[in-house]
Structure 1
Amino acid sequence: MNYRFRTQPRQVHLIDLPILGFVIVTLMVWMAPFWSFADLFRQVWPVWMAGALALSISTFLLRAPRRILVSGLAFLILVPAIGPVFFVERGENWNSNDRGQDVSFATHNLWGRNRAHDLTADVLIGMDADILALQESGIRTRSIHQALANHYANEVTCNRAPVRIFSRLPVTESGCLRDILDENRSAGEPLWRWDFPAAVWARIELPDGETFVVISVHFTWPNPLSSQNEERINFAEIAQMFDQESLVILGDFNAATPSSALSRFDRDLIPVRRTQSMPTWPSQGRWTNEAGNTVAIPTMFAGIDHIYAGERWITGTVEVGPNTGSDHRPVFSRMIFLEAESAN
């Protein structure tokens, strides 16, 4: 008697579906330096990392098949963040021997759909920053500007962009950064040279008579990344017209660790980034304003609001502020502007 044996079909497990999804995510994370669309996956890296760790732990607890594969995927998603998180240049930190001027800064994207204007103004006033840089600061947020104007002696605006700077310290010069680009652009240059972020600058005078330039900037979304690339290139070129050792750049960069987009900002800007993996978006204000539901727990997972400062600035503190009703959280920093002899 002849027997015929049939090969049993391979069993498909429910766990295979999320594993397949994380295989695709892992490929995208590793293709980020070469493909702008894939870099969007790195922008939300904490989401994938949390999901990969949860899936890895679950597969081991349930003794599910392919748990080694899941752990390998989690490791591969982790690796691209090691360098940007742990080995990026951070600038000097304050110590008791540093002599200079103590200046506090804050940056905040007010968000055009923000409805909690009173809350926003109260939080920003309570942060008590010497210099306040704002983005998405237009007609819709006028009541916030009016409240802030009662607490700041100087307000710098740009009629070409919804960005502004409030300062308690004297302002000696100011203007739209785009105007500098237009003045230095020659005829016949390619169209990409017209790509420029919303940006305003001000020269601030310290009590000892020294000055420094501060810029409030808002870069476009990283999709399409090519547009953000051109904005970054043009901005970095114009920013070099100011003294780099004393320059401070604050704003919404729409680029988060460990994206290739943020690494390009770190490469092209001479001042050093002082914000390190500090999530600022999306804050509870996004859900409260758009869905009408009050969210009690912090919901941020992407740090896209940053502070860059030149070599004469020593970092004291950098922290993320509370919910303001915006979809962003404000960022606050206290820094020391070194005396000239201490900086050399």
Structure 2
Amino acid sequence: MSRVKTLILAGLIAVPALALAVRLAGLVSIRADIIAMLWPLFVAAGLVTLAGLSLLRSPRWWPARITALVLAIGLIAAATPWAWLRTSSQSLPASQAPAEAPSETLRLVTLNVWAGNTDPDAAGRFLADGDFDVIALQEVSSAAGRTLDRIETSHPNQVGCRWRVRLLTRLPVNDAGCVDEEVLPAAWLSTTLQGEPVTIVAVHLARPVNESRHRRQVEGLAAWLAARPEHNLVLMGDFNVSQGSVLMRDLEAELAPLERVTIARRTWPSRHLSPVPVIGIDHVWLGPGLCAGAVRVGPHVGSDHRPVMAAVHACKGW
């Protein structure tokens, strides 16, 4: 085998091996875990290796070629979020509970409006037309003011907290407030579902690239939730953590017994950097007393995030 072919083969082994190492490095490095969330990079590395092997047809050094093949296939299999490849509807069902569920349903939506929103009118129309009971917004800046103009009349009960997190509802509010504004950008309110109190929390966690701040916010959120062990609780917002990452595994452990219902829901980036969303960093979590009848990702509304919608009802046996 020529020296050039030897170097090419060495590269075809090194590329998937390095990519696999980065994914595993997420166990010990936050920054590596952030990169590991970007699964298309790793799938592309595997495909490049496969393409290179298809062109490198020399019968010599077959053990090295098989090694590269196994690494490439293993990388693609491990990196591809198979559940995310299925599509989801862009809208919730009509405003009525499923026949087998209780008659009353909460229709919820969370959206990072984004300070750089390119079409705040589209965001406003989507929120106004969605027939939502509760709206959770993040990055509500002055540039997104037109978004709020469309919904402030229909959703007069509001709570706004530091760092541009806001909750709006058309339902009666029993109590409301902010969660430790010195540490955590989160707003909460208490309403009623079938005569029982329900607490709804909107949150916007820091990007994990700032590891100490992100972990401090997660710990603060977990501590606040532990001090309010409501059976019926909704937690939603921008968590800046994606499914399949070590960070998500840690977050799920911290927030237990809340259950994340945004499985296989891609929300970022929305027409920014990519024509379709690649990862899901916007989530909805439910307490043990609540169940989700439907969870959907909404359309592009000028933000780099897609909205997440959920129809939530009391679980059987409430």
Q: 1:19 to 1:118 in 2, by over 3 A?
A: farther
Match of 2:177 in 1: 175
User: What is the correspondence of 1:259-298 to structure 2 with a 5 Å cutoff?
Assistant: 259-270=245-256, 271-284=258-271, 286=272, 298=275
Give CA deviations for 1:12-47 in whole Å, capped at 9, x if unaligned: 454654653332221010121111121112221243
Measured in 2, the distance between the counterparts of 1:260 and 1:234 equals 19
User: What is the correspondence of 1:1-344 to structure 2 with a 5 Å cutoff?
Assistant: 9=3, 11-14=5-8, 16-17=10-11, 19-49=13-43, 51-55=44-48, 57-59=50-52, 61-62=54-55, 64=57, 66=65, 68-76=67-75, 78-79=77-78, 97-99=100-102, 101-158=104-161, 160-178=162-180, 196-206=183-193, 208-270=194-256, 271-284=258-271, 286=272, 298-338=275-315, 342-343=317-318
Select between 31-40 and 250-259 the one with higher mean Cα deviation.
31-40
**Match of 1:261, as an amino acid?**
L
Measured in 1, the distance between the counterparts of 2:5 and 2:26 equals 34
Q: What's the CA shift for 1:315?
A: 1.6
Q: What's the CA shift for 1:59?
A: 4.3
Q: What's the CA shift for 1:239?
A: 1.6
Q: 1:129 to 1:298 in 2, by over 3 A?
A: farther
Q: 1:125 to 1:18 in 2, by over 3 A?
A: farther
Q: 1:298 to 1:312 in 2, by over 3 A?
A: farther
Q: What's the CA shift for 1:245?
A: 2.1
Measured in 2, the distance between the counterparts of 1:58 and 1:115 equals 38
> What secondary structure sits across from 1:277 in the alignment?
coil
Match of 2:92 in 1: none
Match of 2:91 in 1: none
**Match of 1:226, as an amino acid?**
S
**Match of 2:300, as an amino acid?**
N
> What secondary structure sits across from 1:226 in the alignment?
helix
Give CA deviations for 1:303-324 in whole Å, capped at 9, x if unaligned: 0000000111112111110000
**Structure 2: which 5+ runs fail to align?**
59-64, 85-96
CA contact (8 A) 2:266 2:278 kept: yes
- Report which structure shows greater RCO (CA 8 Å, sep ≥6): 1
Give CA deviations for 1:156-184 in whole Å, capped at 9, x if unaligned: 212x23000111211111111015xxxxx
Match of 2:94 in 1: none
Match of 1:88 in 2: none
CA contact (8 A) 2:17 2:71 kept: no
CA contact (8 A) 2:110 2:136 kept: yes
Measured in 2, the distance between the counterparts of 1:149 and 1:225 equals 35
* Alignment length (residue pairs): 299
Give CA deviations for 1:171-221 in whole Å, capped at 9, x if unaligned: 111111015xxxxxxxxxxxxxx6x33111111123x43211111100011
TM-score, normalised via structure 1 length: 0.78
Q: What's the CA shift for 1:273?
A: 0.3
Measured in 1, the distance between the counterparts of 2:127 and 2:12 equals 42
CA contact (8 A) 2:46 2:75 kept: no
**Match of 1:58, as an amino acid?**
A
Q: What's the CA shift for 1:57?
A: 4.5
Select between 74-83 and 28-37 the one with higher mean Cα deviation.
74-83
> What secondary structure sits across from 2:190 in the alignment?
strand
CA contact (8 A) 1:163 1:218 kept: yes
CA contact (8 A) 1:52 1:70 kept: no
CA contact (8 A) 2:203 2:235 kept: yes
- Identity across the alignment (%): 25
Measured in 2, the distance between the counterparts of 1:226 and 1:19 equals 36
> What secondary structure sits across from 1:227 in the alignment?
helix
Q: What's the CA shift for 1:76?
A: 4.3
**Structure 1: which 5+ runs fail to align?**
1-6, 86-93, 180-193, 288-296
Q: 1:81 to 1:273 in 2, by over 3 A?
A: farther
CA contact (8 A) 2:206 2:240 kept: yes
